[in-house]
């Protein structure tokens, strides 16, 4: 099954949702499974067998059709949709990510994704000057046709959203779409969706955000934007992680300077020392982003036509043991594993999928993988 | 006459002082005259003739021997000395400048010039945070063995001097050594000289600083240092001129960032956008300066042995007219003039010296010259 330019059928969307909501199935595993078995529906059928082959001690929890239908129903009633990666409403920038989310929940106006997006993030305990700066930049960028992306947090994030409410802003949540955090910004989230912007999340409806969900949210913020501006940030703060992720994805990184005696500028000044572009006004951002705009709306890139693996026999237990033996806590590339194992690439893919589903594999940037210690299961 | 490694005789120093204090004789003209005639004394004898050949309507005012002796006497009684380029006490960094001062007045402890020098400059109406930053950097650099160079102005300059009083600081004045400006820093200047630092000036004793003398002072500040740090500076402020001069001389340029909403950071943020090194702590400066230190105390470079011009006949009126014809308000290099004129280089040098002494020539960086409009005389 491929989604080249059309929409998923209702039945396909149910399968996609069940598969992505399955334990141990992340974006990379999802893509691997669809590549291997041709469709999410086929992958779901094979899942129990794969997990057992991977060495899991119990079967993963796979949501039922009824559960998936219930989530779609909740979404529909909340005015939201679950958009698949090759569908027209899927954010074009997200498709460019290393491991894009196969399905993303969107509430609001998806046409906002067609505006060139710039992320503005920063400290929750921002200073008045920082808030003012965030507002200035967001209002100016919004007025010039940019979509302002942020994380709905207190402080800089909220200021950036507020100042670009009228022109279209995108909030990325760490929890489910119906669980905006913090509570004081619930109304802001509703306003964003109602006024031509969008609120997005990769998490299921009803999901209360935990601390570890925020780095995943930060990854989507960075991925959604052409560039990321950090307005105020202390040393070792979350905004610096977002900036690192943005840099790793090839997004532009900007920082607003501040006095070295102001701890809320320690992170942004550090970014500037690392080579971030210094921002004192919106034109500093526009000057760097403009050259990228001709490519800013890439062609829809669906899931690729699955490679033909029919010629390869399924891997045997001996093959599995060999791969597990060869892997360790240090990430290695797929190519290295294939070369080392002497197996058919399709066999290696299958074994890695099995390990992944069994919760024994960690996926890294660039397609590298490592084995989780047994305690990780 | 050359000053390779010894000191000037009293008679030589009188001649040097008379020549450099002569109207229209700057550092470049001084060097040209000594190169051409072999000594300051010989140049003084030729001066009236050269000036007339250059087209001046009146003879320049040449200080008498008695006047020069009087200035030397005032200096001696003020605990100061007039140090010639090539003498051991002459600041080594100044020798590296494009057009170094042949004589400089120094009060205090010349050994401070042997410490690697870093200039710290900035706004007169500095904020408390700026003052604190200047103090921090100056104290830290002083403690690590650097000499802090500044301009004795209010605000950042004074803070930098004060914080490095104990370790040795260098103040450059726009007026005479006995005319520190502003008056509130007269005591600071005395303290600098008394506590192992030095106060320097290229201007005569008794000279009250005028507005146009400050850019000349800024040039010496930049020239004296391996790098120049701007702590706070508004748009188009004098500190930015110092930074430009420092950059042109190949000195490192540093700037302390600040909030874009603080007008006193507009200049430093602008410098950072132009490529200045961002400073939040002294180690940022030290990291860049350290690699230069192996070359930081250059070999004493005296006035070069004069080239042998004896083979060239003196230029004629026709030659002079040709050069004046060829020159205009746009700076051109000496090489171009020599090639264009077809004259012997020595003849071109002589004509340019004449024009210079007659107040008709402007000298630019890199040895280029232009003709001043007639009104400039």
Mean pLDDT, residues A19-39: 91
* Minimal CA separation from B265 to chain A, in Å: 9
What interface predicted TM-score (ipTM) does this complex get? 0.77
Asked if B273's CB is within 8 angstroms of A257's CB, the reply is no
Q: Confidence band (pLDDT; 50, 70, 90) for A159?
A: very high
Option in B129, B132, B269 nearest A278 (CB)? B269
Mean pLDDT, residues B341-360: 84
Cβ-contact B150, B121 below 8 angstroms: yes
Option in B259, B273, B281 nearest A258 (CB)? B259
**% of chain B surpassing 90 pLDDT:** 66
pLDDT computed for residue A204 by the predictor: 95
Q: Confidence band (pLDDT; 50, 70, 90) for B304?
A: very low
B152 pLDDT more than 80: yes
Q: Confidence band (pLDDT; 50, 70, 90) for B295?
A: low
List the single range of A168-177, B10-19, B302-311 with lowest mean pLDDT: B302-311
Asked if B132's CB is within 8 angstroms of A260's CB, the reply is no
Cβ-contact B131, B197 below 8 angstroms: no
Cα distance from N-terminal residue to C-terminal residue, chain B: 31
Option in A129, A132, A272 nearest B278 (CB)? A272
Option in B259, B269, B278 nearest A129 (CB)? B259
Chain A hits for B262, CB-CB cut-off 8 Å, are: 129, 259
Backbone angles phi, psi at B69, to 5 degrees: -60, -35
- The pair of structure tokens assigned to B184 is 């509130």
Mean pLDDT, residues A98-103: 91
pTM for the whole structure: 0.81
Cα distance from N-terminal residue to C-terminal residue, chain A: 31
Say which DSSP state B375 is in: G
B224 pLDDT more than 50: yes
Q: What is the DSSP code string of A1-27?
A: ---SSSPPPHHHHHHHHHHHTSTT--H
Name the residue of chain B whose CA is nearest to A281's CA: B260
* Minimal CA separation from A131 to chain B, in Å: 11
Mean pLDDT, residues A104-118: 96
Asked if A269's CB is within 8 angstroms of B257's CB, the reply is yes
Which of A141, A159, A118 is CA-nearest to residue A251? A118
B308 pLDDT more than 60: no
Chain B hits for A259, CB-CB cut-off 8 Å, are: 129, 133, 256-259, 262, 265
Asked if B259's CB is within 8 angstroms of A260's CB, the reply is no
Option in A129, A273, A280 nearest B278 (CB)? A273
E strand spans, A212-278: 227-230, 252-255, 277-278
Size of interface A-B (CB pairs under 8 A): 62
Q: Is B17 helix (H, G, I), strand (E, B) or coil?
A: helix
> Which residues of A sit within 8 Å Cβ distance of B?
129, 132-133, 256-262, 265-266, 269, 272-273, 278-281, 284
| Each residue's pLDDT tens digit, B209-223 | 999 899 999 999 999
Asked if B258's CB is within 8 angstroms of A258's CB, the reply is yes
Say which DSSP state A227 is in: E
B227 pLDDT more than 90: yes
- How far apart, in Å, are the Cα atoms of B134 and each of A70, A76, B21, B120? 63, 60, 36, 7
| Each residue's pLDDT tens digit, B32-70 | 899 889 999 999 999 988 888 888 888 888 999 999 999
Chain A hits for B272, CB-CB cut-off 8 Å, are: 257, 272, 278
B310 pLDDT more than 60: no
The owner of tokens 């006035």 is B303
Rounded to 5°, the CA angle A262-A263-A264 comes to 90
d(CA B135, CA B146): 14
pLDDT averaged over every residue in chain B: 89
The DSSP bridge partners found for residue B228 are B119, B253
Asked if A256's CB is within 8 angstroms of B258's CB, the reply is no
Q: Testing the interface with A: which of B235, B263, B269 to mutate, by most A Cβ within 10 A?
A: B269
Mean pLDDT, residues B302-311: 47
Asked if A259's CB is within 8 angstroms of B129's CB, the reply is yes
């Amino acid at each position: 099954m491929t989604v080249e330019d059309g929409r998923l059928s209702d039945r396909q969307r149910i399968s996609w949702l069940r598969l992505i909501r399955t334990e141990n199935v992340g974006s990379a595993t999802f893509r691997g499974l669809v590549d291997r078995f041709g469709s999410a529906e086929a992958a779901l059928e094979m899942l129990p067998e794969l997990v057992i082959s991977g060495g899991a001690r119990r079967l993963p929890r796979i949501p039922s059709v009824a559960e998936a239908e219930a989530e779609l129903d909740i979404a529909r009633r909340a005015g939201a949709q679950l958009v698949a990666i090759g569908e027209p409403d899927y954010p074009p920038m997200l498709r460019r990510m290393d491991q894009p989310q196969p399905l993303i929940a969107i509430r609001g106006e998806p046409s906002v994704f067609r505006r060139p997006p710039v992320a503005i993030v920063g400290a929750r305990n921002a200073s008045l000057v920082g808030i003012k700066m965030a507002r200035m930049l967001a209002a100016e960028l919004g007025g010039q046709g940019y979509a302002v992306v942020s994380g709905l947090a207190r402080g800089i994030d909220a200021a950036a959203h507020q100042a670009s409410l009228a022109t279209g802003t995108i909030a990325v949540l760490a929890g489910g779409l119906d669980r905006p955090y913090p509570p004081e910004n619930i109304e802001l989230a509703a306003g964003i969706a109602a006024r031509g912007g969008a609120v997005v999340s990769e998490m299921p409806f009803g999901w209360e955000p935990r601390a570890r969900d925020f780095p995943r949210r930060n990854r989507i913020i960075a991925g959604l934007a052409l560039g990321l501006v950090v307005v105020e940030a202390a040393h070792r703060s979350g905004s610096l992680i977002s900036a690192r992720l943005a840099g790793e994805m090839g997004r532009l990184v900007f920082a607003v300077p501040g006095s070295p005696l102001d701890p809320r500028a320690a992170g942004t000044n550090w970014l500037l020392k690392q080579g971030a572009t210094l921002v004192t006004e919106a034109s500093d951002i526009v000057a760097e982003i403009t050259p990228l705009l001709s490519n800013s709306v890439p062609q829809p890139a669906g899931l690729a036509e699955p490679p033909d693996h029919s010629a390869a026999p399924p891997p045997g237990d001996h093959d599995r043991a060999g791969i597990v033996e060869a892997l360790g806590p240090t990430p290695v590339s797929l190519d290295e594993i294939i070369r080392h194992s002497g197996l058919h690439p399709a066999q290696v893919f299958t074994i890695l999928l099995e390990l992944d589903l069994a919760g024994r594999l960690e996926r890294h940037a660039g397609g590298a993988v490592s084995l989780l210690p047994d305690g990780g299961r």
